[in-house]
Every structure is written in C-alpha cells, then in structure tokens.
Chain A
Amino acid sequence: MGKKISFRITLAIVSMIICTLFLNLSMLLGMLAFPEQLRKDISEYEKKYEKLREVLPVNGVVGYISDDQKDENAGRYYIAQYALAPIIVTRSLDHKIIIGNFRTSSPKSEICEKYGLVTVKDFGNGLIIFSRDIK
C-alpha cells in the first residue's frame, strides 16, 4: 500500500512537471521557430518622426490630421504622440501648428483647401507640418 501511495504521488508530480515544462518549452520553441509571429516594434515607425521633432517646439500643443477614417488605425496617431512627447498631439485643427500624417506622400489638396492649411514643411513619407490661421 505504501508503494502504491508513493507511486500515485510520483505520478502526479511527474505529470505536473511534464505538462508545465511542455507549456514552457512550446513558448520558447515557438519564439525560436516563428519570431515573425510578434508584431513589429514601433521603433521602426517612430524613426519617421525624428526630423519632425527637430523643428517642432520643445513643449506645447499641436494639431493632428490624417487620411485615416475615424478610429481606424488609431495606432498611427498614438505612435505620433509617443514619438513627439512631451508635445501634446491632439486630433483637432484648432492649433497654429498641425501635423499631417498621410498614407500617401502627396496628400489630397482638397484637405488643405477644406481646412485652410498651409504647408510649412513636407518631410516626405506622408508627413507634413502645416500652419493654420486661428482667429
């Protein structure tokens, strides 16, 4: 009977070890075999804003406009905010400086006309600094 109990406990413990190690190893092997399963790090997207930071004021608030539909691909906006901090990037046009973040390198001119935006500097890659007259 004593041996039976010892066997039962050993079985339980060995099962626990095998299962936990299996989960652990599958995570490691998954990472080694398919590293592309992870998303791209945002540092790649962030680089786009480096030159922009050099010309913007150190602090303050700037507006933001893009050709994304509302709430679609909000990540682009949040990356811009992350890259440009401590400048506050707000999705509004009530500011003198407005950052344009477009998918195409030449934004539709209607957008500029519609909102009265004047291009200050075009950084290429769809990134533009606009100015706007606020009354």
Chain B
Amino acid sequence: MIALLCLSLIAPLAGGYLLPRSIVPTQKPASADQLLKASLAIGLGFGLTSCLYFLVLLFIDSSKDTLILIEAVFCFILAFLLKSKKTGEHPSGAEICEKAVVQSKYERILSIAFYVSLACTFTTFVLIAVRLPNGEWDAWAIWNLRARFIFRGGEHWTNVFSSLLSPSTHPDYPFLVSATIARIWKYLGQETQFVPVILATLFTFATAGIIYSAVAIMRSKSQGCLAGLFLFSNVDFIYLGTCQYADVPLGFFFLASLVLVSFQDTFSKNYGLSFLAGAMAGFAGWTKNEGLLFLGSLFLARLLVTFFSSDRRTHMKQLLYFTLGSIPVLAIILYFKINLAPQSDLVQRQGLTQAIDKLWQLSRYVEIIKTFGNVTISVFPQLILLLIYPLFLGIKITARDRIKVTTLVLVMFFMIFGYFMVYVITPYDVSWHLRSSLSRLLLQLWPSFLFVYFMLISTPEKALLAGQIRTQNAE
C-alpha cells in the first residue's frame, strides 16, 4: 500500500515541483527557496491532478489504468515543455527584496522557537488525527462523502450531484479536495481514512512552509520565523487543518497566489509568476466557492494597480498572464457549475428582489459588524500582540514595495467586504449563518493576513540598524 501511495503522490508532487522550479527565480536563503518551491508544488500538484482526474472521469472512464497512463503522459509533456526553460534568475543581493543588513542575533533564538512550535503543532496534529480520522462535520458530511461517491460510485459517480441529496451536503461545492482523495483511493484500490489525513497534513504544513519561506526571502529569516510562529499559535487554524476542513487548502491557495504576485512585483518581467498566481487563484475557486471571490478580488486589485501604475504596459502584461493562468481552471469550474452542480443554496433559497431588500436593513449590518468584532477577538487572541508589536519595531514600506503592499491590502479588503456582503444578503437566518461559518471564513484569511502583516512590519534587523543609525546621528 505504501508503494501505491508513493506512486499516487509522484505525479502531483513531481509535476507540481517542475513549474515553480522553472518559473520562480532562485533566491536566498537557499533553504527557504527550496522549501517555498516544495510547498508550492503541493498545491499546484494536487490542483492539477484533481482537474485532470475530473476530466478523465467526465470524458474517458473511471479506470485506474487510464488514470495512471494519462497522468504519466501529462508529466512527460510538462517535463518536456519546461526542459528548455531557464531555471530562473539568480539575482544579486541588491536585486532581491529587502535583505537583512546586519547579522541577526535574533535569528537563532527565533529559529529555535519556530522549530519547537513546529514540533508541538505536529504532535497536536497527530494526536487529533488519531482520535478523529474521519475529521469533523464538513470533512465527512461534504468532502469525504463526495470522495466516496466518486470512488464507490464507478460509472454512477455523477450521483453526487443528485438533487435528492440533502442540500447540507453542498453538491454545488467545487471538487479539488474530494477529487484528490478519490484519486489517491483509486491508485490504492481501496478506501482508507489515512488519505484525507495525509492531504490535510500536507496542506496545513505547506501553508506554514510558504509563509515562513516567502517572508524569509522577502524580509528576513527571523521575520519568517515570527510569521510561522503566529500561524502555529492559532489553535483554531490547526484544528481546522486536522479536522480536514477545506478552509485550510483554500487558505493555502490564497496565500500562494499572494506570494507569487508579490514576487511578480519584485521580478516584474518574469511573467510566469503571474501565470502561476493565476493558476493558484483558479485552484482556490476549484476548492471552495469563496475561492471565486478571491480570484475576482485579486484580479480587481491587480487591475486597479495597473490603472494607477507608471509602468502600465508591464502591469497590463502581468494581468494578461494572470488571466491566462487562471483560465484553464476557470473553464473547468464553469463547466462544473453549468453542467453538473446544482445551484448554490445561497442563490436557490431566494430571488434577486429579496436579496436587494436585505441591503436596506440596517439591523443586519449592525449584527454583522458586532459578530465580526466578537469572532475576531475570540478566534484571534494573537491580534493584541500584533497590534502592539509595530509600536516597538515600526512599519516599513519602501517605494519599491508600495505596489506589492497595495495589492495585498486591496485583496484583503475586497475579501472581507465580499464576506460581509454575503452575510448581508444571506437567505438564512443571519445570526445562525454568522455563528456557523464566520470563524472559518476569517481563518481562511489568517495565513494571508500574516503574510501581509509581516511584509509591512519592519524586521528586527532593520529596526536595530535604524536605531543604531539614529544613535550615531545623534552623537
């Protein structure tokens, strides 16, 4: 079984690794660079193979041999196409974003703390996974249930979209998580709860891998450790990951897209980065419906940045590549939504007039704002620390980072605004809807928020250097 499991992971991980290896420029520190590419590979790989599996199921057949053959061909084509591609730029220290300019005395202690935190989180993760191999409600009632329909259903796998199924199983939700689980079961030839657990582990820790390595590359290693420490310190985020909720893979794709877009602003002519960001944002839409909001938000943010940019031509080209990257996945999502999935319960349960009527009910806004506040305080106790921290270290946005930071802040704003408006017009009882989903929606944004935050805050090294310079000037 282990050999088959490895075989099932080869295609996604190898295929997923080829893309960032060929497109994302090699940067320093080397360990962070490798970790970033490996972490990106997990999302890209599972995203690609889930799309491929969905297409195979739809247009060919559901046999294991066909699947393996098609995936092997796909990997070879990908390897051939990327063979001739230059393996990224090797920018000099000055070209790379802000780098630590003084040897950090904090790096060592933060690294130790980060590894302690990683060990604690992993142990907790394993302990919960052993007790809850089927995960919590959403995992078995939605994602794993659909994986069972695909795997057990054979030719009748499309029964998963039957209108006879309870709407609470959300047959309209996209397919990335369920298709990935069913695909690995197909390789193994049997159903095992081990697979959703592995998937949850990979996505949770790959999210940590991305946030640590991206911040380490763009800011400093100690800043990357701090970002990782904060990610792990959120009990609810880790619990969601262990319980196999799709909100964690979704948060992974949000973060991956934002990181790639940020790299694009550093290496402005490497358009492959925008292409990959587009694909990642597309996979977010293929994971959960909220991902489509993210795709739209990121596109809109980049469009606004392009509009106000002094180098409009380059930004226009970046936007074009972003669109090209997202189009194939978007086409699959559209096919899925139009031909297979029933209408979303949010649309099904009310008409346009009823939704518009709700826009004028002030009490709804008041309740939503109150709940947003309460949930934020209870789910993110770390925010108090994050509010105080800049008072000690300061905020640092260089002219070069302005576009990058603008994009990130705009996306976060659009996402929060989008979630807010969904609650305003929800056909469900707004209190119930907020209670049952708001914390998860905010947790989806937690890794991205931390990334934006640690991009804005001055690094310990910079703060120390700035202090020393100020002291010298005063003397």
A contact residues vs B (CB 8 Å cutoff): 1-2, 5-6, 8-13, 15-17, 19-21, 23-28, 31-32, 35, 38-39, 41-43, 46, 58-59, 61, 74-75, 77-79, 81-82, 85-86, 88, 90-91
Contacts and interface: CB of A to CB of B under 8 A. Distances in A.
Given A12-B393, A13-B110, A20 B164 contact: no
Interface size band for B? 35 or more
Contacts of A31: 124, 127-128
B468 A2 contact: yes
B8 interface: no
6 A-B pairs with least C-beta separation = A5-B467, A12-B392, A86-B153, A20-B233, A85-B148, A23-B233
B467 A13 contact: no
A61 B131 CA distance: 32
A39 B120 CA distance: 21
Given A11-B392, A81-B145, A35 B131 contact: yes
A61 B232 CA distance: 44
B193 A2 contact: no
Contact of B467 (A9, A24, A61, A78): A9
Given A12-B388, A13-B460, A39-B136, 16 more contacts: A9-B106, A9-B463, A13-B106, A16-B229, A16-B389, A21-B116, A32-B127, A41-B134, A42-B134, A59-B159, A78-B140, A78-B169, A85-B145, A85-B152, A85-B153, A86-B148
8 contacts: A17-B229, A20-B382, A21-B113, A59-B159, A85-B145, A85-B153, A86-B148, A86-B156
Interface in B142-170: 144-145, 148-149, 152-153, 156-157, 159-160, 162, 164-166, 168-169
B232 A20 contact: yes
B4 interface: no
Interface centre among A39, A59, A61, A79, by most chain B C-beta atoms within 10 angstroms, is A59
Nearest to B392: A12
Contact of A5 (B149, B168, B389, B471): B471
A63 B202 CA distance: 38
B467 A2 contact: yes
Contacts of A38: 128, 131-132
Interface in B444-470: 460, 463-464, 467-468, 470
